[in-house]
Amino acid sequence: MPPLTKAEVIVRREGSVGRISLDRPKALHALTQSMCEAISAALLAWRGDPAIEAVLLDHAAGRGFCAGGDVAAVRRSALEDGGAAGRAFFHAEYRMNHLLFAYPKPVAAFMDGVTMGGGVGLALPCRWRVATENTLFAMPEGAIGLFPDVGAGWYLPRLAKQTGGRIGQFLALTGARLDGAECLWAGLATHYLPSDTLAEAKARIAAEPAHAEAILSELSAEPPPARLAGNADRIARLFASDRLEEVIAALAADPSDWAAKELKAVTAKCPASAKVALRQFASPQPDFAAEMAREYRLAARLIMRPDFAEGVRAVLIDKDNAPRWNPASPEDVTEAMVEAIFAPLPEGEEWVPFPA
């Protein structure tokens, strides 16, 4: 009898590499809990296996690397079971993120298409992060009342200083979409390859994983100019404040068309989410596990706020893109509200990583 549900992740060995391919094409490979668990199980099985030297992470059929997570299911959980299933999803996803971060063997991620939210969490811990002409990268959670999770609070504040140090805040507050060239410029990607060379890159790495670095360099192409680089100074200046009201005021005071467009993007997002993101990025955690434990608190709290159900409704269910946030304006999101979202969870409910 065939299985009732498809696995949605293809796991196999090829020579001395482990291969993991996301296979949920109808949802642009957005992650479900069982996909996270299958990925973690494969990584755990290979972690101490001397026959596996490296891991390749990509998507199987269709477009998109990974569009995020199954937030429609998380929304149903928030409305129907007190958020228990939603928390279980984030617990499994963040364990997978942490496992990749601490993984003792090199992993290559092929960001050949939409790479948002959960897809960013898969790619950023990897030693090699390959962008292509199809890469479309974003942390869009502010549009659904969430926050930049999956380790974004670790990676984004640490991006190269060449970017002016505020690219993370810019990405979080605007949900801006970066192309492959911009990902390379910002340090989000390590290589830029034409997508028609990816099959060759994977086959050659599988044959000679010790030469992965040289193979990726050899197949790399000159990316087009990174448009974002032209706005780096503006981003550093206008996103300099950790106070949302000040960022909005700075954008409003700038005469450029660019600032006007980004002002619209910032003010369309969930105000509570934006304040959570700014506070998160202003206080980087000492280690990655601590960051994931903090993010789990934030996720557990934010999925139960009405803004999350409303944001998913507006973006993914009704698709009217007209969320009604509550509070609707930044001034009404108080310090005490943000503080409460960061508070520790009750004993026994905190996130814990896989044992080392």
Q: Count the residues of the shown chain that bind ligand QUE, applying the rule CB under 6 A.
A: 16
**The binder of ligand QUE chosen from 11, 27, 44, 85 (CB under 6 A):** 27
Q: What is the dihedral of CA 78, 138, 264, 331, to 10 degrees?
A: 50
Distance of closest approach, residue 32 Cβ to ligand QUE, in angstroms: 9
Helix (H, G, I), strand (E, B) or coil at 232: helix
**69 lines the binding site for ligand QUE (CB under 6 A):** yes
Specify burial of residue 28 (Cβ count, 10 A radius: 0-12, 13-18, 19+): buried
- How many whole angstroms separate alpha carbon 8 and alpha carbon 20? 11
Q: Which entry of 69, 117, 180, 311 is annotated as an active-site residue? A: 69
Q: Is the dihedral of CA 114, 78, 327, 322 positive or negative?
A: positive
Distance of closest approach, residue 62 Cβ to ligand QUE, in angstroms: 11
**10 lines the binding site for ligand QUE (CB under 6 A):** no
Is position 64 annotated as part of the catalytic site?
A: no
- Nearest C-alpha neighbor of 302 from the set 83, 121, 5, 80: 83
Is position 69 annotated as part of the catalytic site?
A: yes
CB 11 within 8 A of CB 43: no
**299 lines the binding site for ligand QUE (CB under 6 A):** no
- How many whole angstroms separate alpha carbon 91 and alpha carbon 295? 10
Is position 180 annotated as part of the catalytic site?
A: no
**The binder of ligand QUE chosen from 54, 71, 123, 276 (CB under 6 A):** 71
Is position 80 annotated as part of the catalytic site?
A: no
Distance of closest approach, residue 303 Cβ to ligand QUE, in angstroms: 12
Q: Which entry of 149, 179, 291, 307 is annotated as an active-site residue? A: 149
Distance of closest approach, residue 338 Cβ to ligand QUE, in angstroms: 19
Contacts of 206 (CB under 8 A, 6+ apart): 14, 15, 16, 17, 19, 56
**117 lines the binding site for ligand QUE (CB under 6 A):** yes
Q: Using CB positions, name the residue nearest to ligand QUE.
A: 68
Beta bridge partners of 111: 131
**67 lines the binding site for ligand QUE (CB under 6 A):** yes
Residues that bind ligand QUE (CB under 6 A): 27-28, 30, 67-71, 117, 140-141, 143-144, 146, 315-316
User: Catalytic residues, which ones?
Assistant: 69, 118, 141, 149
